[in-house]
A = this chain, B = another copy of it.
Amino acid sequence: LTAIATDDLCARILARDRRALARAASLIEARTGAGLAISKKLFAHTGRALVIGITGPSGAGKSTLVNQLTKHLRLEGKRVGILAVDPSSPFTQGAILGDRIRMQDHHADPEVFIRSTANRGKLGGLAATTLELTLLLDAAGMDVILVESVGVGQGEVDIARLADLTAVVLVPGLGDDVQAIKAGIMEVADVFVINKADRPGAEQLEQEIRAMQTLGSGSETKQPAPIYKVSASTGQGIDELLRALRSNAESRARRTGLSESWKLRLTELVREQLLAFLDERVLETHAERVAERTEDPFTAADQISKDLLARLR
Contact = CB atoms under 8 A, between A and B. Distances in A.
Interface of A: 36, 39-40, 43-44, 46-47, 57, 128, 131-132, 152-153, 176-177, 179-184, 186-187, 207-209, 211-212, 214-220, 257-263, 265-267, 269-271, 273-275, 278, 283-284, 286-288, 290-291, 293, 296-302, 304-305, 308-309, 312
Contact of A265 (B131, B297, B308): B297
Contacts of A270: 278, 301, 304-305, 308
B40 A299 contact: yes
Contacts of A288: 259, 262
Top 10 nearest A-B pairs by Cβ distance? A180-B218, A180-B219, A43-B296, A269-B301, A258-B291, A183-B183, A176-B218, A262-B287, A259-B291, A263-B287
Given A270-B301, A270-B305, A305-B312, 7 more contacts: A39-B296, A39-B298, A176-B214, A180-B217, A208-B215, A265-B297, A274-B308
Contacts of A183: 183-184, 186-187, 212, 216-217
Q: Would you call the interface of chain A mostly helix, strand, loop, or mixed?
A: helix
Contacts of A215: 179, 181, 208-209, 212
A184 B185 CA distance: 10
Contacts of A214: 176, 179, 208
